[in-house]
A and B are shown apart, each in its own frame.
Chain A
Amino acid sequence: MTLHHLKITAFDHVMVVERLLQVTRYRGFRLCGLSMLPAQQDNLLDIQLSVESDRSVENLTKQLLKIIDIEQIKVEDQGLQTYPVSEVLN
């Protein structure tokens, strides 16, 4: 299991955090920490998400970026380097 810290910028729309958490759980990641604050720019949120899994964090970030109101994601740890992109999940 590897811990990953994600910094997420999202539009402050209803449901965005619920979708974020739903996708995180469904894709096999355990929520370890969450904080959310209004961003400097109007209508945006800064979300810090800490998650743990033995799955590739790249696959999670790609899924999260499909959420309409999520603008960008930065993985702040070295988690991306611990998994080759071709790793098979199942």
Chain B
Amino acid sequence: MTGAELLLKTLQQHGVDSLFGYPGGAIMPVYDALYDSPIKHFLCRHEQGAGFAAVGYSRASNKLGVCLATSGPGATNLITAIADAFSDSVPMLAITGQVAKKAMGSDAFQEVDILGLSLACTKYCHQVQCAREIPEAVTRAISIAYQGRHGPVLIDIPKDVQVQQLDCEQAEQLLSDSTLNPQTVAPSNPVISLPDQQKLQTLLEESRAPIFYVGGGVGMADAVAQLRELMAVVKIPSVTTLKGIGAIDPDTDYFLGMLGMHGSKPANLAVQESDLLIALGARFDDRVTGKLAEFAPNAKVIQLDIDNCEINKRRGVDLAIVADLKDSMPIFKQLLIGLRPRLQIESWQQRCQQWLSKFPWRYDHQGQGIYAPWVLSELSNMLSANAVTTTDVGQHQMWAAQHMRMHDPKNFLSSGGLGTMGFGLPAAIGAQVSRPEDLVIAVCGDGSLMMNIQELSTLKRYQIPVKIVLIDNARLGMVRQWQELFFQERYSETDLSDNPDFVALAMAFDIKAKRINTRQQVNAALTEMLAHQGPYLLQVHIDEMENVWPLVPPETANHGMLEAGNAK
């Protein structure tokens, strides 16, 4: 058995049945082994696409996304996707080929120091030195990816190690040993300690205006069900971050939506007036807090997070609980059951309800053009609860976050931390491979789609039935919006009116496509798209001057948000 074959056997042992990658010189032995392997390989048309597909695969399910690339440019092309996974705490395994050990350090063809390059965006990276190390190295890396706060890991395999021969008996023994090695088993995560439970109880009892601030950590910890059970005990008002979307069912009482720079008015007003902020798997990101010194100025803060580094990083807290969310929620729930008769939050609940009633999203947009928020709201109404939506980055991303209703964080995949344009299409490919039974929609912008447009070819090759809703304003819309508002309307390099004909482009890949220009076309077009069996691209032409509202300007408190009526 070769090192390459042993690698694939190890992956199989960990339940990996799909890989996303692109072949090249230094990874050829692995591709040769794949020829006979039951693992299904999806050839993406750029390593970045393969990386994002692996991210989408992981985020849409509890399965590990794995991407594969050759040395040098293949490896560097993975870096953006790895950095994206690092920012959004996504468990992912990147495997790179490397030049043979003898050639390493000699500036060989397609040699790059991928360990050095990936240092800042992986939890762990390792280069194996001989074939017998492979099972344990891969097992350890996967274990680390899921340990504590999740994240990406990278294994670099020199070509001579890939072709190194091991006898089958030895290889089987190595595989067996790697599953038993205690070093590779993730330690159990902590829960809420007794003293912390007492402090938590005191803070809750004293509060008259508590609010749950729910981040991506809840979904990453697979703690959605536990959170909902907790929230059913006492109807404490709640908001989510971009990555927390879906953790709270949108129909939950006193759920106010997303907070932050493009958050809903009720969400931002409520957080600003709260007296107790209960941060669950959330990290006080700058896009959430606005002007930090004026964020929730009267609130005491409880922060529950698996990552100690997030405690007191940007906002000081009154109670820090470094614990596993999934295991901690039932303890929190029991505590709330005991406290329920003593909590006095009725007037706060009413106040939140008033904000919800007074400031609903409005879709009565003036003009004949298509209003993107309405399109996304209509689309969302047509989707089943288990449909997956991915987005790119920009205006359409914020509109999707604001106007689409998500029922699970695994159903809304958006590049939150790194904000990577080009994420939507390849992530949708990974999500669809991961969940073949569910509908997958990629809501894209025209700027972003062009960044990984080559992945239309991957849709075609495997007939992956992703539906692309292209919100096309022929602009880099979010940058244009900022130029309008904060750069004296100096529209520097944001005009994309020379975009290709997207319908013709999709059809060149044998993908059915349609363009719509008027609001009267919207419902029929969405229905046609959703009824289509294969991949589909719906190009929705919108006004290039449309803006995302509300918007909290830089260095402004969240209650100072700009809205359509007060922006100028």
Contact check: which of A19, A85, A88 meets B119 at CB < 8 Å? A19
Contact check: which of B311, B314, B317 meets A89 at CB < 8 Å? B314
**Partner-contacting stretch, out of A29-37, A39-47, A62-70:** A62-70
**CB closest residue in chain A, given B147:** A68
Contact check: which of A19, A26, A66, A88 meets B292 at CB < 8 Å? A88
Q: Digitize A52-64: 1 where CB-to-B-CB distance is under 8 Å, 0 elsewhere.
A: 0000101100110
Contact check: which of B116, B148, B293, B308 meets A62 at CB < 8 Å? B308
Complex formed: what's the CA distance from A68 to B144 in Å? 8
- Dominant SS among interface residues on chain B: mixed
Report chain B residues within 8 Å CB of A18. 116, 119
Q: Assess whether A89 is in contact with B124, with CB atoms less than 8 Å apart.
A: no
Complex formed: what's the CA distance from A35 to B116 in Å? 21
Q: Assess whether B120 is in contact with A26, with CB atoms less than 8 Å apart.
A: yes
Complex formed: what's the CA distance from A26 to B312 in Å? 18
Asked if A77 is at the interface of the complex by the 8 Å CB criterion, the answer is no
Q: Assess whether B309 is in contact with A59, with CB atoms less than 8 Å apart.
A: yes
Asked if A22 is at the interface of the complex by the 8 Å CB criterion, the answer is yes
Q: Assess whether A85 is in contact with B316, with CB atoms less than 8 Å apart.
A: yes
Complex formed: what's the CA distance from A26 to B309 in Å? 14
Complex formed: what's the CA distance from A56 to B311 in Å? 12
Q: Assess whether B313 is in contact with A89, with CB atoms less than 8 Å apart.
A: yes
Footprint of B on A, CB under 8 Å?
14-15, 18-19, 22, 26, 56, 58-59, 62-63, 65-66, 68, 84-90
Nearest-CB distance from B203 to chain A (Å)? 15
Complex formed: what's the CA distance from A86 to B123 in Å? 26
Nearest-CB distance from A61 to chain B (Å)? 10
Q: Assess whether A86 is in contact with B314, with CB atoms less than 8 Å apart.
A: no
Complex formed: what's the CA distance from A62 to B286 in Å? 20
Complex formed: what's the CA distance from A59 to B308 in Å? 9
Asked if B315 is at the interface of the complex by the 8 Å CB criterion, the answer is yes
Contact check: which of B293, B308, B309 meets A88 at CB < 8 Å? B293
Q: Assess whether B127 is in contact with A86, with CB atoms less than 8 Å apart.
A: no
Name B285-300 residues within 8 Å CB distance of A.
286, 292-293
Report chain B residues within 8 Å CB of A86. 312, 316-317
Contact check: which of A26, A59, A66, A87 meets B316 at CB < 8 Å? A87
Nearest-CB distance from A31 to chain B (Å)? 16
Q: Digitize B144-161: 1 where CB-to-A-CB distance is under 8 Å, 0 elsewhere.
A: 100010000000000000
Q: A88-B292, A90-B292 are in contact. List 7 more A-B contacts (CB 8 A).
A: A22-B119, A84-B316, A85-B312, A86-B312, A86-B317, A87-B316, A88-B316
Asked if B529 is at the interface of the complex by the 8 Å CB criterion, the answer is no
Q: Assess whether A63 is in contact with B309, with CB atoms less than 8 Å apart.
A: yes
Contact check: which of A22, A56, A58 meets B120 at CB < 8 Å? A22
